[in-house]
Amino acid sequence: MAILVIAEHDNASLKPATLNAITAAAKIGGDIHVLVAGSNCAGAAEAAAQVAGVVKVKVADAAHYADQTAENIAALVIETAKSAAYSHLIAPATTGGKNFMPRVAALLDVAQVSDIVGVEAADTFVRPIYAGNVLATVQSSDSVKVITVRTTAFEAAAAAGGSAAVENVAAAADAGNCKLVGRELTKSARPELTAAKIIVSGGRGVGNGENYHALLEPLADKLGAALGASRAAVDAGFVPNDYQVGQTGKIVAPQLYIAVGISGAIQHLAGMKDSKVIVAINKDPEAPIFQVADYGLVGDLFEVVPQLTAAV
Amino acid sequence: MKILVPVKRVVDYNVKVRVKSDGTGVDIANVKMSMNPFDEIAVEEAVRLKEAGVATEVVAVSAGVAGCQETLRTAMAIGADRGILVETDAELQPLAVAKLLKALVDKEQPRVVILGKQAIDDDANQTGQMLAALLDWPQATFASKVVIAGDRATVTREVDGGLETLEIPLPAVITTDLRLNEPRYATLPNIMKAKKKPLDTVKPADFGVDVAPRLKTLKVAEPAKRQAGVKVADVADLVAKLKNEAKVI
Ligand SMILES: Cc1cc2nc3c(=O)[nH]c(=O)nc-3n(C[C@H](O)[C@H](O)[C@H](O)COP(=O)(O)OP(=O)(O)OC[C@H]3O[C@@H](n4cnc5c(N)ncnc54)[C@H](O)[C@@H]3O)c2cc1C
Ligand SMILES: Nc1ncnc2c1ncn2[C@@H]1O[C@H](COP(=O)(O)O)[C@@H](O)[C@H]1O
């Protein structure tokens, strides 16, 4: 039995989410192959070959994989899946994996098991539904299991220690129907939200973008933290969309999550309630966020946050 | 240009669902049902495209129990021209829904299908992408801006690192993210008008689509509850606890 993990990468290196997906594959059991589709992606392929537990890396290097369009990646995964009888196809449940994997499943005429948080058996997985308020254990009867993995639920595989064979595979035909015309990526020297150990997150209570930057950035700087936000803060334009934590934003599980001026709607909790330690700062003692917070501080964030920044 | 908008009837986003005591499923008897929030955004976008003269007709479709008629009426109150219900009491998983939608696309020949990116009950985030694959159409998922000009769509997408913009030829599948638009409230006159709009009912068997589930739910359970925490007196107390008790800073 062999499992194919589709790597997320920037051509030069692997994205951490790939390492979590590899751990999920290891839990299922079987030889782990990694598919790297990219353009000038030898660096990423080399990195994949070094991940502990990986036995083979398949590389498809072609210009039409530069933009990671769903049509092209899905077509390649299908070709690769046909070439060897993979039992499972696995990708991280990032916006990338969520974009192309259901295409793969549909083309294979199989179900997709989205966003798994547990492996019970090779055909049985646990996944959250209803914004994480319910965990469903589902069994797949399909011949090939197409799976996306919630990265916070699986440790990262060791990035070193492996020595997989690297093999070039032919690119699939370019669908040629989808053109990337712009990319606005948020640049930040801070840790990536989904991989950060500490997250400082702001909500509507912060008031506006200026306050957000003036209050939360110094605290995040001192803690070496990533910055996050509620949907309300993103919708109001305090910060870009990729800051959003929650059911429909990013799922995070840092060591420490500091929620500032966030009420704690279920859709927000869905994205952060698996954090190890949660701190809530809110002036409303009845705010639902206090029900999940290990340490709740009732107070005006405009007074409390500068004090906290000074004290840490 | 015709736009097809699939809308799902789901437990309202304000309801905190409960697991049945025998762990076989989620108790949705007597809870408030609404249109999936992402689908409201999809309907709104389609109606705006019609108002802008880009689209000529907006057709809402829903697959599921007879109660989905209500969801379709809501779509029509927002401005969809007519509705199609694919009625079945069977459990429908995304692949089955995608196959039903493909059959409807073959029949209705829309140039664009706009779906929600995810249903807030199964949180699957699959159906749009699956439909695009079955139709062999391009897709633009998680849209926060859609511009349709001639036979092309330019779609800004919300991705993990920020935003990206794709240009795709029509026909195409688009799925909505939350910031695409803010759906209007259906006014009473429009709710009344919606009652008179055409609503057709068909069955999965009419299309010869096998909707049998591929995934079997063995059990459902509530996740472990977090231990209730403590309220701290002040910042000094908080910092001391984070350092000495939790040891996270
Ligand atoms: C389909 C769907 C998906 C969604 N997905 C997400 C998601 O992924 N992520 C997400 O976050 N939300 C999501 N939401 C929205 C969610 O329901 C809430 O509306 C949102 O999380 C509220 O954000 P907030 O807590 O910042 O704002 P509010 O609920 O307005 O809370 C602001 C808080 O700030 C406090 N406050 C105000 N002033 C101060 C002060 N001076 N000092 C201290 N405290 C103060 C208030 O007491 C209040 O508790 C989704 C909603 C829907 C319908
Ligand atoms: N039963 C259904 N009827 C109509 N549309 C649906 C149905 N199920 C899913 N959809 C559409 O597919 C989107 C994504 O759903 P899902 O893949 O289940 O997360 C939804 O937002 C709807 O637009």
pLDDT, position B174: 98
pLDDT, position A116: 98
- The ranges of chain A with pLDDT < 70 are none
Closest chain B C-alpha to A165 CA, distance in angstroms: 30
Chains A, B: CB pairs < 8 Å: 250
pLDDT, position B13: 95
With the most atoms of ligand 1 within 8 angstroms of its CB, the residue from A206, A211, A267 to mutate is A267
Task: State the pTM of this model.
Answer: 0.96
Which residue has a Cα nearest atom 22 of ligand 1?
A232
pLDDT, position A186: 87
pLDDT, position B228: 76
d(CA A311, CA B36): 44
Contacts of A221 (CB under 8 A, 6+ apart): none
* Span B86-104, average pLDDT: 98
Closest CA to B64 of B97, B33, B23: B97
B244 DSSP 8-state letter: I
Closest chain A C-alpha to B196 CA, distance in angstroms: 34
pLDDT, position A153: 96
pLDDT, position B236: 98
> A286 in contact with B at a CB cutoff of 8 Å?
no
Contact B129 A103 (CB under 8 A): yes
3-state SS assignment for residue A25: helix
| pLDDT reading at B194 higher than 80 | yes
Which residue has a Cα nearest atom 4 of ligand 2?
B62
pLDDT, position A1: 82
Contact A130 B139 (CB under 8 A): no
pLDDT, position A118: 98
| pLDDT reading at B214 higher than 80 | yes
Report pLDDT digits (tens) over B130-177: 999 999 999 999 999 999 999 999 999 999 999 999 999 999 999 999
Q: Cα of A264 to ligand 1 centre, how many Å?
A: 6
A8 DSSP 8-state letter: -
List the A179-185 sheet strands across, edge first: A179-185, B162-169, B152-159, B139-149, B172-176, B112-116, B2-6, B57-64, B82-87, B199-202
pLDDT, position B119: 98
d(CA B16, CA B28): 10
**Mean pLDDT of all residues in chain B?**
97
* Span B90-96, average pLDDT: 97
> A111 in contact with B at a CB cutoff of 8 Å?
yes
pLDDT, position A188: 86
